[in-house]
Structure 1
Amino acid sequence: MVSLKDLSSYDIGGSERISRLCAVPVKEVTGNAYISEYYPEINVNREMFNTSSSRMASYKSVLIPVNEHIIKRITRTFFESGFQEALFEARSAQSAAQSPIICSLAEYAHRIIDFLNKCKFMILPHLKDQDTRCITKYTQTRDWTKSCIRWIVWHPNCFKIAVAGSDDIIRIYKDEPAIVPVLKHPNQRSITCMAWRPYSSSELTVGCEDGICHWTIENSKPASQILFLKHPKHYPVIAVEWNPDGTLLASSSIGSADVLIWNVDMIENSPLRRVGPSCSLLKWSPDGSSLFSSTISNVFRVWSTDCWTPERWTINFGQIQSAAWSPCGKFLLFVTSEESFLYRLQFVEEQLFATSNLPKQALPIADLTKVTVGYRELGGLPQSIAWDPHGRYLAVIFKDTSCIAIFMTSLTKFNLNISPSCFLTGIGSEYPSFICFQSINRRNSDSVLTIGWSSGRIQYFPFVNI
């Protein structure tokens, strides 16, 4: 049964509007519909032999402790783990017992660095979010730090899926039984996002802590080729997006306010410069005419790619958490980090003689407030959204609840209709870490939702019996 809630005085753009919003769905769907046998069975947690943290723990457990000189121990820590860990080692109790002078100097250095950081963050508060520990706040993956599944992406033109795990290894699965290729490189640390290059079956772009890893996967060669793209202050990379024809790559970083437009073949980039907070999310429109970019503040922009001019927008609270274009490119749906609502932007005029001077506004179209259905909790603050390539289904996962809300959508030339459909649940206590829809290709013409559960299990849900 569909229920509606009357809400008033909700706006983005400065004007009040009374709306009737559809609520979260209350019908549960359990189990799984029929899936063709060529869909690979994937459990990332089972396939990961060791994560980086477990390897480090195992190394420490098997090495026999020795009495190193303090200078040698600090130097070794610096080359193994960096300056911060070396400074921490110099301030440790063991160092204080061996050399109080070195420990005191390290303590003074720590206080000076801490004071300078506080001054820097007071002037430029958005720079606090450059550390990889803050990635989980802006990424589309729930509990990114703890999740064994970091990202899932389907190839837009063929049956091929790439899965990134917390061990910083990418595994490639196809519809034909074969050895699963794995992509691993020292520069590929803390994977945050991935994107296949359209119209190329072998090129995969990966955003990570230090920059961008661009892989060329050749089946006929024993090893894949990697091109590492790096730009000053443009790290960690939080979003990579190819335009629909695969000629340009857009990337953003929580360490820089600029969006970079790459010509990967020429290894060149052009920045879309803007003064302000860093950029956290990118989405090309399906026709390539617009590029959506949001920041870690309440500002987001929609760029016109013919002349790269932006249309600037603001929201009332928080920042854009997730966004999705409609297949026709006329509508953009998004959710924010502080509100339990789904918003819509429209990029086509409803009136024939409407002028561009009329104020545009983003309208709330779905109420995602947390509700209790039986013994399950559904809704709350959204984590990410995914819209299927046909424009018929929209999936939403949440930060604090374990169910996936499914909405039915209907697109016309000037309107978007949305209604609750059902909600999906996992097995036991698992919750969804990442969701995406499979692209349309020769092996698939249905709407298939791919779910990466917290247990490491990947599930395929075709919408054929809904």
Structure 2
Amino acid sequence: MEYQALVVSFPPEQDLSLQQWLHQQWPSDPLLEQAIPWARSIPDIFPRSTSGFPPYSNSEQPTTSSSTTTKSCRIGLFQFTPCGQYIACVIESDTIALIDLQQQQQPSTGWMHTLRSHLQHNIASIAFRPTCPWQLAVGCWTGIALWKKTQLQWLTWKQHVQVECVSWSKDGSLLASFSGLDKSILLWDVGLSQPLVLAKENTLPVCDISFGVCGDAFLFVGYASPRYHFTVYDMLEWKPQRWKRQHKVTSTTPCCKIAWSNCSIAIIASYNQLYALDIAEQDVVWTQCLPDDQDNPHRRIVDIAWDPSAQRLAVLIFYPAQTSPPRGHRTHIALYATQCEPVFRMHFIGWITDGEVWALGISFPPSDCPFGALLAISWNIGTIQLVPLVFAKQP
């Protein structure tokens, strides 16, 4: 049996308890006896009444993390620590809220701290160091801010400012960053505060950089350019991978994002197409386009997230506003079931959406649940919702 989504906020129009509602959907299934207590134990990070956190205005459109430079609430940019206890959320263009999820239901215990500096402006990217849950790298207009709890250190180098992307290597020894001003990708030895110029692009903007989380050491660079799609660097030699087949995507609105799991496969999204990349074999093993939508042909993928166990893929799709028929912009989250072995497979499960608000970002936080995963969704009203997903029963 396949559970599509086990949502804590079940349909309010039904006068039922969560347990009754779930048993109506999947009667006589013993797995629910484990799933229900797990789902009910999951805290809301930001309840609907978000006192102290300014909401988005209804006129704002969903944006990627590097496209907005005005001072506003941008809770769509968030990241969990590797242990899953803490989350960092950008609540203004110069302010980060660090929340202790175990304490956030008890305001008197100091469940939230704010990270703010007069030099920290227009935050575009954040990343926790994998080996140090209290160390956070922040890419912003003035460079790279390194927070260790409340202590602040700055990484600066020549014209490497307007930093739009930051990413840590799996062992936490290297920090990669991209500057929108000098168009350079730097690798930082944080202990020495010294950078190495990995690549310098005179014309190509970068929309995503990410170290692989599997055993192999690779750095992915996604370009926001119709001429080039992506580059994968081998960290052993710092040379671009030579792919067996050349795959090129041309689109009017390029945006290349990657999602990793604990295997050699990576999922790449570009505009309205998805690719499965076998890093070890240096080949694209699967491709799929979003289904045609005659009502809104300009829809595009703005974010993707893959469960670490490689069983669920979430795809955030943005539908721009239309004039005929009159309709505002909206977002849908497509949920897929995936399998990497013995061959890569993927099939569509269903949609997660809210007609009145739109999603700004998605992520799979760490979870020790053996039969499911959590999907975190940030909404434009200033909340983050955790959606429990229960996997198919194992034979």
Q: Which band: TM-score by shorter chain?
A: 0.7 to 0.9
Indicate the SS of the match to 1:265.
Answer: coil
Deviations 1:370-418 (A, max 9, x none): 377xxxx8993111110011111111112223221100101115x2100
Q: How does 1:44-443 map to 2 (within 5 A)?
A: 46-48=50-52, 139-140=64-65, 148-177=74-103, 178-179=109-110, 180-217=112-149, 224-276=150-202, 277-286=204-213, 287-297=215-225, 298-299=227-228, 300-311=230-241, 315-318=248-251, 319-328=254-263, 330-337=264-271, 340-349=272-281, 360-361=283-284, 363-370=286-293, 380-400=299-319, 401-413=330-342, 415-426=343-354, 428-440=355-367
Indicate the SS of the match to 2:98.
Answer: strand
For the residues of structure 1 that align with 2:161 and 2:125, how far apart are their CA atoms?
A: 13
Deviations 1:311-334 (A, max 9, x none): 266623143431112321x22211
Q: CA deviation at 1:235?
A: 2.6
For the residues of structure 2 that align with 1:446 and 1:341, how far apart are their CA atoms?
A: 27
Q: Using the aligned pairs only, state the percent identity.
A: 24
Deviations 1:430-453 (A, max 9, x none): 010111111245x88741000000
The answer as to whether partners of 1:187 and 1:213 remain within 8 angstroms in 2 is: no
For the residues of structure 1 that align with 2:288 and 2:162, how far apart are their CA atoms?
A: 33
For the residues of structure 1 that align with 2:53 and 2:84, how far apart are their CA atoms?
A: 29
Q: CA deviation at 1:296?
A: 2.7
Tell me which amino acid in the other structure corresponds to 1:404. I
Q: CA deviation at 1:47?
A: 4.0
Indicate the SS of the match to 1:403.
Answer: strand
The answer as to whether partners of 2:73 and 2:93 remain within 8 angstroms in 1 is: no
Q: CA deviation at 1:252?
A: 1.2
Q: CA deviation at 1:216?
A: 0.5
- Shift in alpha-carbon separation, 1:148–1:316, aligned structure 2, 3 A: closer
For the residues of structure 2 that align with 1:247 and 1:151, how far apart are their CA atoms?
A: 24
Structure ranking higher in helix proportion: 1
Q: CA deviation at 1:44?
A: 9.1
TM-score, normalized by length of structure 2? 0.74
Task: Give the structure, 1 or 2, with the largest relative contact order (CA under 8 Å, sep 6 or more).
Answer: 1
Indicate the SS of the match to 2:132.
Answer: coil
- Shift in alpha-carbon separation, 1:206–1:46, aligned structure 2, 3 A: same
Indicate the SS of the match to 1:447.
Answer: strand
Gaps of 5+ in 1: 1-25, 54-135, 218-223, 350-355
For the residues of structure 1 that align with 2:66 and 2:293, how far apart are their CA atoms?
A: 20
Gaps of 5+ in 2: 11-17, 19-35, 104-108, 320-329
Q: CA deviation at 1:273?
A: 2.4
For the residues of structure 1 that align with 2:201 and 2:67, how far apart are their CA atoms?
A: 29
Indicate the SS of the match to 1:202.
Answer: strand
The answer as to whether partners of 2:6 and 2:387 remain within 8 angstroms in 1 is: no
Indicate the SS of the match to 2:331.
Answer: coil
Tell me which amino acid in the other structure corresponds to 1:39. P
Is 1:41–2:45 an aligned residue pair?
yes
Indicate the SS of the match to 1:316.
Answer: coil
- Shift in alpha-carbon separation, 1:272–1:454, aligned structure 2, 3 A: same
Q: Would you say how many aligned residue pairs link Structure 1 and Structure 2?
A: 332
Deviations 1:143-197 (A, max 9, x none): 7866631411011134211111135221112233231111111122111111111
For the residues of structure 1 that align with 2:364 and 2:285, how far apart are their CA atoms?
A: 25
Structure ranking higher in strand proportion: 2
The answer as to whether partners of 1:378 and 1:403 remain within 8 angstroms in 2 is: no
TM-score, normalized by length of structure 1? 0.64
Q: CA deviation at 1:237?
A: 1.2
For the residues of structure 2 that align with 1:323 and 1:267, how far apart are their CA atoms?
A: 27
Q: CA deviation at 1:241?
A: 0.8
- Shift in alpha-carbon separation, 1:143–1:446, aligned structure 2, 3 A: farther
For the residues of structure 2 that align with 1:362 and 1:48, how far apart are their CA atoms?
A: 47
Q: CA deviation at 1:366?
A: 4.5
- Shift in alpha-carbon separation, 1:189–1:306, aligned structure 2, 3 A: same
For the residues of structure 2 that align with 1:27 and 1:198, how far apart are their CA atoms?
A: 29
For the residues of structure 2 that align with 1:36 and 1:416, how far apart are their CA atoms?
A: 33
Larger Rg: 1
For the residues of structure 1 that align with 2:192 and 2:370, how far apart are their CA atoms?
A: 34
For the residues of structure 2 that align with 1:168 and 1:448, how far apart are their CA atoms?
A: 28
For the residues of structure 2 that align with 1:156 and 1:445, how far apart are their CA atoms?
A: 19
- Shift in alpha-carbon separation, 1:41–1:347, aligned structure 2, 3 A: closer
Deviations 1:326-379 (A, max 9, x none): 321x22211223xx2212222244xxxxxx8xxx4574235343377xxxx899
Give 4+ residue runs of structure 1 displaced > 4 Å after superposition: 26-30, 140-147, 360-363
